[in-house]
Amino acid sequence: MNLAREAAVLAILAASVSCTSVPPLAAPPTSVPQLATPAPELEAYRSDVEALVREALVKGRSFALLAELCLSAPKRLSGSKGAARAVAWAERTMRSIGLSNVRLEPVLVPHWERGETESLRVLDADGLPRERLSILALGGSVATPPGGVSAEVMVVTSFEELRARAAQARGKIVLFNRPMDPAQHDCFAAYAGAVDQRGRGASEASRVGARAALVRSMTMALDDHPHTGALRYDEDVAPLPAAALSTLAADRLAARVAAGERVRVNLQLSCRTLPDVLSHNVVGEIPGTGIEREIVVVGGHLDAWDVGHGAHDDGAGCAHCLEAARLILARGLQPRRTIRVVLFMNEENGARGAQAYYEGHLDELERHVLALESDAGGFTPRGFATDANPRAFESLRAIVELLDSASANALRVGGGGVDIGPLARSGVPLVGFRPDDERYFDHHHCERDTLDNVHPRELALGSGAIAGLLHVIANLPQPLRRNPQPVPAPSR
Ligand SMILES: [Zn+2]
């Protein structure tokens, strides 16, 4: 881009970001006045952006990359052999697509294994096991004793209800059965409104003297597939074994209890936690030309649950990031800022890769101009969410409006992602890729999260959209305005 055009872009961006014209961050994005058209000088990027999207659709490798990861390392929970294979694949792939400065950055990760035994059986009047219900142990759960835990089921829909009925909970197996709220337009908000049951249910059940915890799977689908995910034990209570129950099984159990039946079940889990394992974040770059000290991060997470392929969560995000970088290289575009691809380890059960990246790069976070994460699946793009300050939000919206050829031209207020989350402490504006989310939680943390449930064209559109956004951000004459630093960096 020549200097005159740079100056014009600067002027347009400055003019379009009047701080009085936008609401505070907490306001819904619909209340932000729409720009009628993208800033004219940003239009200069449109042909490159459209060429990137076309390349992604016609000659793209998104699905091939995803297939390689899913088929060579399908079960890649932190600390597992699958995770080690995923790290090796990522390093190899970054080199093969032409990234520079490819390296492994160490992360010490937890190592939890599911074990051979997972069963939940309804007991008959004689105490004999009958109907078998579909469960998956929650990540991090302790095992049951040999022979399992046999007890009556108590059903609650909130921690408040559990506390109010604490006397009845003693000695029981508590089923947390509050569904994801179907009235929520945003499925991630519905998830956020229900997932406390998975994360804290076992500790809350322990606090009232229960013997084990069951959790309705975090999905709006009514089927017989249980969905796992991490729990976290409070230190002041004994850890209880805990498992996710399919939505149909949860409904069946809850209906019997609601009808007045005393339903006894036997839960058996043989999962275990092993010593921490040395693993890695995998990093590679397209070095900038001109303002290479400034860095645009794009990332997803390499680890995935030990069921299915981890195709949407987050194989798709890994494929998006790698393919976006490859597309930029394939088009011969030379970004002025450095584009850094980071495939994080341990998002699912610890986020230690996120913390390791933050701590390992503290001295250069001032030069991180933006961090973008793809961890919401590989469905048709809708746009992006961001925590950016109002001025940067307006700039980003003008840029995102260039992405209509990838169906990704909406920008709303929201988070970036778990892996890039710590960077907010240094004022880095965060952006999350947002595809359609209606079916995401049908697959999330479940054996249905397989390669065949990702559509190649939808995945490719996401890569094209991300490549387009990266291209513009990496070439803007001036970086986006940084966010205020809300929380000081922890002193260590
Ligand atoms: Zn994820």
Distance CA 462, CA 318 (A): 11
Strand order in the sheet with 264-269: 129-133, 118-123, 264-269, 149-156, 173-176, 212-216, 242-245, 135-137
Q: How far is the CA of 310 from the centre of ligand 1 (A)?
A: 9
Where do the H-state alpha helices sit in 346-388? 352-360
366 catalytic residue (yes or no): no
The tens-digit pLDDT sequence of the chain (492 residues) is 333 343 333 333 333 333 333 233 333 344 344 443 457 789 999 999 999 999 999 999 999 999 999 999 999 999 999 999 999 999 999 999 999 999 999 999 999 999 999 999 999 999 999 999 999 999 999 999 999 999 999 999 999 999 999 999 999 999 999 999 999 999 999 999 999 999 999 999 999 999 999 999 999 999 999 999 999 999 999 999 999 999 999 999 999 999 999 999 999 999 999 999 999 999 999 999 999 999 999 999 999 999 999 999 999 999 999 999 999 999 999 999 999 999 999 999 999 999 999 999 999 999 999 999 999 999 999 999 999 999 999 999 999 999 999 999 999 999 999 999 999 999 999 999 999 999 999 999 999 999 999 999 999 999 999 999 999 999 999 999 999 987 565 655
CATH code linked to domain 115-270: 3.50.30.30
Return the closest-CA partner of residue 117 out of 243, 270, 264, 317.
270
Q: Which of 91, 118, 323, 347 is catalytic?
A: 347
Give me the residues near ligand 1 (ion), CB cutoff below 5 Å: 313-314, 375
Phi first, then psi: give them for residue 300, nearest 5 degrees.
-150, -175
* Cα gap 344→354, rounded to integer Å: 7
Q: What is the pLDDT of residue 4?
A: 38
CA of 188 to the centre of ligand 1 (A): 12
**CA-based torsion, 13, 19, 20, 26: positive or negative:** positive
pTM for the model stands at 0.90
**Domain boundaries in the chain?**
3-112+276-475, 115-270
Distance CA 175, CA 120 (A): 12
**182 φ, ψ to 5°?**
-70, -15
Number of Cβ within 10 Å of residue 345's Cβ equals: 34
Edge to edge, the sheet with strand 368-373 lists 100-113, 272-286, 338-344, 295-301, 368-373, 430-435, 381-386, 410-413
Length of the chain: 492
- CA of 125 from ligand 1 middle (Å) equals 43
Q: How far apart are CA 60 and CA 330, in angstroms?
A: 10
| Ligand 1 centroid to residue 304 C-alpha, Å | 7
CB 372 within 8 A of CB 470: yes
**Gap from CA of 239 to ligand 1 centroid (Å):** 25
Fold of 3-112+276-475: Aminopeptidase (3.40.630)
Number of neighbours of residue 183 by Cβ within 10 angstroms = 5
- Please tell me the distance between residue 7's alpha carbon and the centre of ligand 1 in angstroms: 40
Inter-residue contact 70 to 85 (CB < 8 Å) = no
The alpha carbon of 445 and the centre of ligand 1 are apart by a number of angstroms equal to: 9
The CA-based dihedral angle spanning residues 340, 392, 42, 377, taken in that order and rounded to the nearest 10 degrees: 50
